[in-house]
Structure formats: C-alpha cells, structure tokens
Amino acid sequence: MRSLSLCILLALLVRPASAFEVDHWPDGAFTGQPTRLTWPAPAPLAKPLTLCILYPHLRDAYWLSVNQGMVEEAKRLEAKLRIHEAGGYGALAEQRKQLRQCVDEGSDAILLGAVSYGALADAIRQSPLPVFGLVNDLAPGLAVAQVGVPWYQMGWRIGHWLAERHPAGSQPVSVALFPGPDSGSGTALVESGFIDAIRDSAIRLVTTARGDNSREIQRTLVQQTLARHPGLDYLVGGAIAAEVAVNELAQHHADRPRVLATYFSHGVQRGLLRGKILAANSDQMREQGQLAVAQAVCLLRQPDATETQCPRVMGPPILTLSAPLSAPEHSLSDGDFRPVYRVGLAPTPP
C-alpha cells in the first residue's frame, strides 16, 4: 500500500501543470509591458479535438522540448495531435502545403510554428481553420491567438546582462553575434534587441554572422569568425552556435572568447554547469508547448472567452541565467524523449 501511495504521489509530481504562471499581453501583440498572472488551464475535453501542429523542424533541442510539452498537455487534456515538420526555415513552400494538408486531414485547428513572420500570410488567410501562433511570432491579424515570448527581449536581455559588466567608460571589449537564420523570423528581433542593449556601453559589435540552425553551418560560421577575429572577447549566439563554440574552444584549449547563448538547450545547460557558457536565456520552451495546446483547447471550446478565461497572447517568463537551471523540466525535454508525431491517432503508414 505504501509503495502504491508513493507511485501515485510521483505521478502527480511529474504530470503537466494545470495552472501556469504566464506573461500576458492584453493588447494582442508581443509589445509593451506584459502582465504576470496565474492562468488555470482548461479541464480535459469531453469531446476530443484534433490539432494540426506545424514546426519549422524537429532537429534541435529547442523544438524537441516544445514537442514534449505539447504531447504532455495533449494527453492531459485528451486532445489529439497530428504533427508535421517543414524541414527548416527556408521551407516556405512546404509549410504552405502543410497548411492545406491540415484541412484535408480533418483537423479542428492549426498551431503554426512559422518559418516566416509574414510570408505565409496568404496561405493562413485562405485556411478555413483557426490558426494559432506557436513560438514564432506572426504578423498582426494572422493568428487567433499566440503563445511565445518577444524575441526582441531575448536579444535585449543577454545584451543588457553583458552591458552591465562593461559600462561606458570601462575597458572596451569586442563581441561577435550569431543570431540564427536570415529568414525573417525572430532573427532580426534578436539582433535589434541585442544592439539596443549594448548601445551605450563599452561593447563593440565587430561582426554578425547569420545562418541556418544546423550544427554544420553554425560550426563553419564560428570557425570563420574565430579565424578573422583572434582577439575576440565574447561570442553571443543561439544555442547551437554556443554549443559548437564551446567545442571549438575546447579543441584549441582556449578560454576566450567567453560564450553566451540567446536561447536554451541541453548543451547550454551543460555549458553553464561546467562554466563554459557565461550566461543564457531560457524562454521555457517545454512549457510553451504545454501552453499552446491549452490555449487552443480553451479558445476552441469557448471562442468568445474573455482574456482572463483564455489569454490570446501569452508565454512563460523569460529566464536569464548565469548558472544551470535547477528545475529544467519547464524548459528542456527529458533525456530519453524522442520526437512524437501523433497523439491519440493511428501512426502514419510507412
């Protein structure tokens, strides 16, 4: 009996949250100052809904963590998921096709991790299904609701963290920025946020290297930058750029430049733990996945719900860290988790 009670307690501890601490933007866009609130997520569905989920890709820790959060919340709510990945941030044509495919498959709504901020506008407007923004911001008027964080803030917060350590008048330092793909998604916002944050400091941005979030491309960019700027003090980049930079520096037994990450991954967590990464943001991507499913279910069940009942633009608070996360389960997928493409549906035939 005692062991049964312990099993029940452990199950309750690891189950997805039924209430979330969120930042809420009541004006319908990720601008201005959000309100922090505790949002009680919806109860399980009496009648199942099928959500069609579109990701840019599932080849890095970020989207894998989003995937696990969505799977967890779908199981809690007894919703069905059908998941597709486009193949990368250049796959506009594929994601347009997948928007139509969601309709053909008989889904109730689309949760779109868009490969572009505005280039999918016509395809979204033509869809008869409600479209919810997932992680990546969409141009105004395209989504019924959105879960995410302001990517400007992701750049600004890391820049501000660094600028506080190198204020104007102190010894000048140099930095290279690796914001991610040049795709019109969040990259430009990360860049502008970082640049604004360091503007009145002793930090000099010597180069910006944009490229797809593949390890090969980011490794090449890092190698080229280190060769061209041997005296570099800091390297600031997305999780993959930060991870490959740590590896490159280790191979050359170098302790400079110091590395910072604009977003989070398992490798970034290890880098913080080992002192190889100085600071990093986490936008709690696993919880973003949970929130996205909960938000869609809430609004599909209550389309006329108030902002208090079903917030239209929200996301978890951004964490800026100089030490490893003590509770990474809101940010990172479990070590043994693998991509899931169907929840509550028969697997796709080979």
Contacts of 37-41 with C-beta under 8 Å, sequence gap 24+, read 37/311, 39/311, 39/314, 41/17, 41/73, 41/290, 41/291, 41/294, 41/298
Domain boundary among 261, 282, 303: 282
Residues 37 and 138 in one domain: yes
Q: Are strands 131-135 and 50-55 parallel, antiparallel or unpaired?
A: unpaired
| Residues 185, 277 within the same domain | yes
Residue 324 is assigned to a structural domain of this protein: no
pLDDT at 6 over 50: no
CB 311 within 8 A of CB 152: no
Q: How many domains does the chain have?
A: 2
> CA dist 279 to 217, 236, 238, Å?
23, 9, 12
Question: Quick check: is 7 in a domain?
Answer: no
Cβ-contact 279, 323 below 8 angstroms: no
Tens digit of each residue's pLDDT (9 = 90 or more) over 82-136 = 999 999 988 999 999 999 999 999 999 999 999 999 999 999 999 999 999 999 9
Average pLDDT, integer, range 179-195 = 85
pTM value is 0.91
29 domain-assigned = yes
Residues 24-40 have a mean pLDDT of 94
* Class of residue 344 by CB neighbours under 10 A (exposed 0-12, middle 13-18, buried 19+): middle
155 and 251 housed in the same domain: yes
Place of tokens 């059908």: 82
Confidence of residue 1 (pLDDT cuts 50, 70, 90): very low
Q: Do 274 and 297 reside in the same domain of the chain?
A: no
Both 187 and 265 in one domain: the answer is yes
pLDDT, mean over the chain: 93
Interstrand relation of 234-237 and 173-180 (parallel, antiparallel or unpaired): parallel
Domain CATH for 220: 3.40.50.2300
CA 120, CA 235: separation in Å to the nearest integer?
32
Q: Is 24 buried (19+), middle (13-18) or exposed (0-12) by CB count in 10 A? A: middle
How many whole angstroms separate alpha carbon 140 and alpha carbon 137?
Answer: 9
Residue 9, in any domain of the structure: no
The residue range of the domain holding 256 is: 151-282
Average pLDDT on 286-293 reads 98
Residue 322's CB is within 10 A of a number of other CB atoms, namely: 11
Q: How confident is the model at residue 17 (pLDDT cuts 50, 70, 90)?
A: low
Mean pLDDT (whole number) for 241-246: 98
